[in-house]
Structure 1
Amino acid sequence: MAAFSGSLLHGVAEALGASEPALRLILSIFLGYPLALFHRYFLFKKPPSHIHLFNTVTGLCIAYFNFGSQLYHSLLCVVLHFLILRLMGRTVTAVFTGFSLQMGYLLFGYYYTATDNYDIKWTMPHCVLTLKLIGLAFDYYDGGKDKTTLTPEQQRYAVIGVPTLLEVCGFSYYYGGFLVGPQFCMMKYLSLVKGELSDVEGQIPNSVVPAMKRLSLGLFFLLVYMVLGPYLPDSYFLTEEYENRPFWYRCVYMTIWGKIMLYKYVTCWLVTEGVCILSGLGYNGKDEKGQPKWDACANMKVWLFETTPLFTGTIASFNINTNDWVARYVFKRLRFLGNKAISQAAALFFLAVWHGLHSGYLVCFSLEFVIVLVERQAIELVRDCPILSRISNMSVLQPPIYVVQQSIHWLFMGYPLVPFCLFTWDKWLKVYLSVYFIGHIFFISLLFALPYLRLVLVQKKDKLHKSH
């Protein structure tokens, strides 16, 4: 039977022009909807142990369907993490040990399974699990501290009670977030299990319509990616045909490719967000008008992602929960360093290593760091220069300025994604050579030029002020 189902899936995958692991992944993500419906109508307000067991069993089945016996990697890390928390208690030692174990296991997994291509293997959901368990260690540690020593955010996430093994397993294997996220904390998960995440107290949440909206949006992006993706393969960058194309064509291809390539992530996150909303995990209280909000598990701000002309806008709209996790457990925990730039660099370095051991990840996030610095400097220069401020605020010039901004924005969003997708230095270096390192030259030049221009501007304003 297993061989038959495997050959059937292989045949379907070939017909769709996809790999069998990719088909298994997308089927598993969509499987979350019937599981969420079962939770709504048969498990809502039922004993917590039943819900934890349901989430654990379904998550393990999904893991086995995708990765076979390799599911033991996640199970081993979950059990060991539970033992660390119970045996070491709410201590810095437990946090450090848990962090080292989870990151160490993930990095060894990357090392032993790495290839030069993007493969769907057990390390893919394991990187999601790694953040989830590390966050649990921090929150469990915070739960034992005096509330007055915690920030309001830390108080909201702190785990006050002592989680059982079944609770940790249910939290880790919850079907709506096991494979590709989103990230959520233990306290949020326990509120779901208790039936507290509903817009109507004590009743099943009215979340079907908002869940279907996110599902529909996810299907739209899936369709766009399936139609356009085959015409924009990563491998084309490494062909002689691409190298022999005119310079402008190479840049335009990189721009469009970068945009469409991200849609596969957008699709997965929107579909899983719909699952979380349907089960109730997406409930985020009510707004000032008393309307329920369902964005607690949102990993995408689609409108901002599609319309922002700013690099920081794209970062703020993309992979939101992971970025929030890094800000909460890495960036803010490094506040004692007293230097925001160092904390931000450390957070981006953590993100790069968390993604994998290939050099392309480090190059991608290093470029992102430089791009964000340059954009902030450019915004400050426009703000401080009266002439540039007037030009940027002229309504007649705003449409062409927006078009220019978007063109630059998406060209240089695609540029750092090249090493992110091609992984190894020999591949991404070949592509960067073909476009003459345009992104590096452009942004590094601006990184040094913009502060100088701003300094000159300030000095000129001071002289004018003194002359008056």
Structure 2
Amino acid sequence: MANGRDFYAGSRAFEWLAMLVGLPIDQFNFLICQFIALMLAIVYKKVLPPNKVTPQVRHTVALLIGIVLGYFCFGHQISHLCLLGTISYIIMNSINPQIMHRGVLFVALLYLSSLHLLRLTYDYGGWTLDITGPAMIATQKVSSVAFSLHDGLARSEENLSLDQKRYVIRQSPSVLEFFSYIFHFQGLMCGPLMFYNDYITFIEGKSYNRVKHPQGQALDETTKYLIFQGPPLEQVIQKITVSIFFALFLVIIVPHFPITYLTEEKFLNETPWLSQMFYIIVATSVVRSKYYHAWLLGEAVCNAAGQGFNGFTSGGQPRWDLMSNVDIVRFEMSVNFRESLETWNKTTQVWLKSIAYDRAASHKTLLTYILSAIWHGFYPGYYFTFLGGALLTVAARSVRRSVRPYFQTSKPISVFYDILSCLATRVALAYIVFPFILLESMASLKVYWNFYFLGHIIALLAIFVLPIVLPPQTKSGKSSSAENDQRISSASDTSCFSQATASFS
């Protein structure tokens, strides 16, 4: 059977060069497009600033460049984004605003799901780049616009949360604005997601209107000019450098730790248990370089165009992390499961929070995980990871409530607890994430059976037994069994969102 790259729809004009450097043509084209986008982003900021050209010009140029680069990288498959965007736009402007947002989400997920299923037929288990990646980002965009438009047309101001007020849209975008948002070249290939209002303020050069100065001062012209000019070039260069480092790491180091080794008889029957666990930790850790490389490069492209303003530091300096998808150092050194989730795929977490978790009447955590799993696709390994992630989320919360207070009596003991928690988090993440990379159900079950499902058993004990043995303390220092029972029974519904979203792609 032909592999996925035999069906690759993008340009093969540089296939000879891709062979010389030893990269598959799909990956080579992706790099070409991103570095072209990086160069054009610099030109875009310098030649077409919002004080010299109209928003329509900036929209048009960003749209056309995105379509050209998208066609180069994905060929005729770029038509899927056109069709997805067109259908969504028609629904937004023809259906009652009271239900329009749900219709857009349903149709977008249905269309994306059909692409995921189609991919399974020609590249099962493969990693060939195709339109499903940009379609995942486009699904986030059209659904976020629809929900924000619903908030603006069908809900009163007093019923909106602070986040909903920030993203609310009061009138339907024009065709140019909408498709520029879907196709703008800075975030077409792999994101990061930028919400519609943030994109419009960037196009109009009014990002400074979105936030207040930390000291409550009026923004002076110098500060506005700094924001208008975009982030310092040094920040862009730093992100490109780190992205290149992880690209080299991906090419040189990752092949030495194949995830498929987990299913081999030598690993399962001849490797000591601790060595097995260590290998899983290493294999799932090094593969993250793929995401670090792509996300940092995408963020650099956005920053080079002037995007990314996200308020001010406590010292009053502009922050440029609006487009940040990951905090690498905090993630790798996180001392608990919650911190790991807060620092991973951050823009997707905001999307899940804004359209699922904040709006669900009940079973918030479960519904959020289900949406995230469907958005990723239909490999069984995804569902092992997301459902297992939900279980570990609640278990980690239970452990923190019952155990942590006993380690807060002194600074050394607290540090010791953090070290143990950090190590436990590394093991838990590896245990729950490897099916996401392995993909197949039987292979994942085979590995879990080899570990006697110990991680799942410990998680269940932490949820249902630990609170009985070590009841969580109230603020007064005494435990309350009634409050305990209520917390346990509702844990899957009331955990904060940063504990509820385990988006690993």
8 Å CA contact 2:101, 2:143 repeated in 1? yes
Distance, in Å, in 2 between the alignment partners of 1:429 and 1:321 is 31
Determine if the alignment matches structure 1 residue 112 to structure 2 residue 131: no
Residue 320 (structure 1) aligns with: 346
SS of 2:253's partner is helix
User: What are the equivalent positions in structure 2 for 1:218-229 lying under 5 Å apart?
Assistant: 218-229=243-254
Q: Is the 8 A contact 2:116 2:377 kept in 1?
A: yes
Displacement of 1:330: 0.4
1:217 aligns with 2:223: no
Task: Report the Cα offset of residue 383 of structure 1.
Answer: 4.3
How far the C-alpha of 1:285 sits from its partner, in A, is: 2.5
2:16 to 8, 31, 39: 8
| Closer/same/farther in 2, CA of residues 345 and 3 from structure 1, 3 Å limit | closer
**Does residue 1:148 correspond to 2:148, yes or no?**
no
Alignment-derived partner of residue 466 in structure 1: none
2:94 matches 1:94: no
Native 8 Å contact 1:135 1:185 kept in 2:
yes
In the superposition, relative to structure 1, how do residues 444 and 146 fare at CA in structure 2: closer, same or farther (>3 Å)?
closer
Q: Is the 8 A contact 1:283 1:295 kept in 2?
A: yes
Q: C-alpha displacement at 1:363, in angstroms?
A: 1.1
* Matching of residue 452 in structure 1 with residue 468 in structure 2: yes
Cα 1:73–1:9 change in 2 (3 A) is: farther
Deviation of 1:400 (Å): 5.3
Please give the per-residue CA displacement for 1:281-325, whole angstroms capped at 9, x wherever unaligned.
Answer: 201122342201101111112221122121111111110010111
Q: Aligned ranges for residues 304-453 of structure 1 at < 5 Å?
A: 304-334=330-360, 336-337=361-362, 342-385=363-406, 388-390=407-409, 393-395=410-412, 397=413, 401-453=417-469
When residues 157 and 399 of structure 1 are mapped into structure 2, their CA distance, relative to the original with a 3 A threshold, is closer
TM-score by length of structure 2 reads 0.83
User: Is the 1:258–1:410 contact (alpha carbons within 8 Å) kept by the matching residues of 2?
Assistant: no
Aligned to 2:487: none
Residue in structure 1 matching 2:183, options 168, 173, 177: 173
Q: Give, in whole Å, the separation in 2 of the partners of 1:435 and 1:19.
A: 36
Distance change (3 Å), C-alpha of 1:457 and 1:207: closer
Root-mean-square deviation over aligned CA pairs = 2.4
The 3 A distance-change label for structure 1 pair 7 and 92 is: same
Q: Is the 8 A contact 1:378 1:450 kept in 2?
A: yes
- The answer for the alignment partner of 2:171 in structure 1 is 161
Aligned equivalents of 2:17, 2:34: Cα separation in 1 = 15
On the 8 A contact 1:117/1:422 being kept in 2, the answer is: no
Structure 1 CA distance, aligned partners of 2:395 and 2:108?
A: 34
Decide whether aligned partners of structure 1 residues 401 and 42 sit closer, same or farther in structure 2, where only a CA change above 3 A counts. same
Q: Partner amino acid for 1:236?
A: Y
Alignment check: 8 A CA contact 2:11 2:74 kept:
no
Normalised to the residue count of structure 1, the TM-score between the two structures is 0.89
Q: Which amino acid aligns with 1:168?
A: F
1:52 aligns to 2:59 (yes or no): yes
SS of the equivalent of 1:143 reads: helix
Post-superposition shift, 1:366? 1.1
Residues 56 and 174, structure 1, Cα contact 8 Å, conserved in 2:
yes
Aligned partner letter, 1:88: I
What SS does the corresponding residue of 2:186 show, helix, strand or coil?
coil
Native 8 Å contact 1:259 1:410 kept in 2: no
Question: Residue 143 of structure 2 corresponds to which residue in structure 1?
Answer: 134
Q: Read off the aligned partner of 1:212 and give its amino acid letter.
A: I
Aligned to 1:188: 198
Structure 1: distance between partners of 2:479 and 2:88 = 59
* Deviation, structure 1 residue 462: 7.2
Provide closer, same or farther for how the CA distance between residues 383 and 404 of structure 1 changes in structure 2, counting only shifts above 3 A: closer
For residues 162-212 of structure 1, give each alpha carbon's deviation from its aligned partner in whole angstroms, at most 9, with x where no partner exists.
311111111001122212221121111111111223653495334322222
- Go from structure 1 to structure 2 and tell me whether the alpha carbon gap of 1:242 and 1:31 turns closer, same or farther (over 3 Å shift): farther
Cα deviation for residue 457 of structure 1 reads 8.0
Determine if contact 1:305/1:317 at 8 Å carries over to the other structure: yes
Amino acid across the alignment from 2:118: Y
Aligned residue identity for 1:257: A
Further displaced range: 48-57 or 320-329 = 48-57
Structure 1 residue identity aligned to 2:183? Y
Residues of 2 paired with 1:259 and 1:358: CA distance?
Answer: 20
Query: Where does residue 83 of structure 1 map in the other structure?
Result: 90
Is 1:256 paired with 2:282?
yes
Match of 2:265 in 1: 240
The CA distance in 1 between the partners of 2:428 and 2:252, in whole Å, is: 24
Alpha-carbon distance change, 426 to 42 in structure 1, aligned in 2, over 3 angstroms: same
Task: Tell me the secondary structure at the aligned position of residue 408 of structure 2.
Answer: helix
Per the alignment, do residues 101 and 436 of structure 1 end up closer, same or farther by CA in structure 2, a change over 3 Å counting? same
Aligned 8 A contact 1:218 1:267 in 2: yes
* TM-superposed deviation, 1:4: 6.6
**Amino acid of the residue matched to residue 113 of structure 1?**
R
Q: CA deviation at 1:352?
A: 0.9
Query: How far off is 1:413 after superposition?
Result: 0.8
Partners in 2 of 1:4 and 1:50 — Cα distance?
31
Letter aligned with residue 55 of structure 1:
A
Take 1:68 and 1:456, find their aligned partners in 2: how far apart are those partners?
A: 57
Amino acid at match of 1:99: L
Q: Contact (CA 8 Å) 2:228, 2:306: kept in 1 or not?
A: no
- The number of aligned residues is 447
Instruction: Give the conservation status (yes or no) of the 8 Å contact 2:101–2:146.
Output: yes
CA distance in 2, matches of 1:220, 1:421: 22
Q: Which moved more, 1:433-442 or 1:65-74?
A: 433-442
Match of 1:200 among 217, 224, 227: 224
- Bigger drift between 228-237 and 112-121 goes to 112-121
- 1:217-266 per-residue CA deviation (whole Å, 9 max, x = no partner) reads 32233333333211111222222332232221111000111111112112
Output the CA distance in 2 between the equivalents of 1:25 and 1:203: 29
For 2:359 and 2:453, how far apart are their aligned partners in 1?
35
Deviation at 1:76, TM superposition (A): 0.7
**Per-residue deviation, residues 372-406 of structure 1 (Å, max 9, x unmatched):** 11111111112454xx433xx341x5665444333
User: Which structure dedicates a bigger proportion of its chain to helix?
Assistant: 1
Secondary structure of residue in 1 paired with 2:67: helix
**Structure 2: where are the runs of 5+ without partners?**
1-9, 209-222, 481-505
1:462–1:184 CA distance, 2 compared to 1 (3 A):
closer
Query: Partner letter of residue 167 of structure 2?
Result: Y
Letter of the aligned partner of 1:449 in structure 2?
Answer: V
In structure 2, the residue matched to 1:103 is 109
